[in-house]
Amino acid sequence: MKKIILIAVFVFLCLGFVMAEDSAGSKIIAYYFHGDYRCSNCYKIEQYSKEAIDKYFAKELASGELEYKVVNIDEKGNGHFAEDYKLYTRSLVISRIKGGKEVEYKNLEKVWNYLDNKGAFHNYVKEEITKFLEENK
């Protein structure tokens, strides 16, 4: 009887560890990709993206469920991002990470359409990140 209880406790602890490890490896990363040369629109996309993410996702940022990273793809070691995400211009990309590996991503190409409308830009970013976060649960 003691062996059965010990085995059950061991299995329970192992399963708990695996589940905790899997949820720890699950997150969303919002990347803003730019290069060495940056125009005013590039700076605006970065600014609006950060504002929207900070405004609507402070809790998720604090918990680590969401990360925001600014990446210069012209810096050594970052060139692979252009190929990985098929980037042809400065971009905001949302990436879903599960179990420590990327399983899905989306390039938010419409950010360029909303450069003259900060509210619409913020709403677009909010809606797209919200979808990713909801699907991550």
Q: With H, G, I as helix, E, B as strand and everything else as coil, classify residue 5.
A: helix
61 with 54: CB under 8 angstroms? yes
Digit-coded pLDDT (tens) for 45-81: 999 999 999 999 999 999 999 999 999 999 999 999 9
Domains and CATH numbers, the chain: 26-135 (3.40.30.10)
CA gap 56, 58 in Å, rounded: 6
Residue type (1 letter), 31? Y
29 with 67: CB under 8 angstroms? yes
* 8-state DSSP, 88: S
Angle at 107 between CA 52 and CA 46, to 5 degrees: 40
**Greater pLDDT, 1 or 125:** 125
Confidence at residue 88, expressed as pLDDT on a 0 to 100 scale: 87
Digit-coded pLDDT (tens) for 4-32: 554 544 444 444 444 444 445 689 999 99
Angle at 59 between CA 56 and CA 62, to 5 degrees: 125
Provide the 10 A C-beta neighbour count for residue 108.
21
69 with 95: CB under 8 angstroms? no
Digit-coded pLDDT (tens) for 82-128: 999 998 888 999 999 998 899 999 999 999 999 999 999 999 999 99
Confidence at residue 137, expressed as pLDDT on a 0 to 100 scale: 67
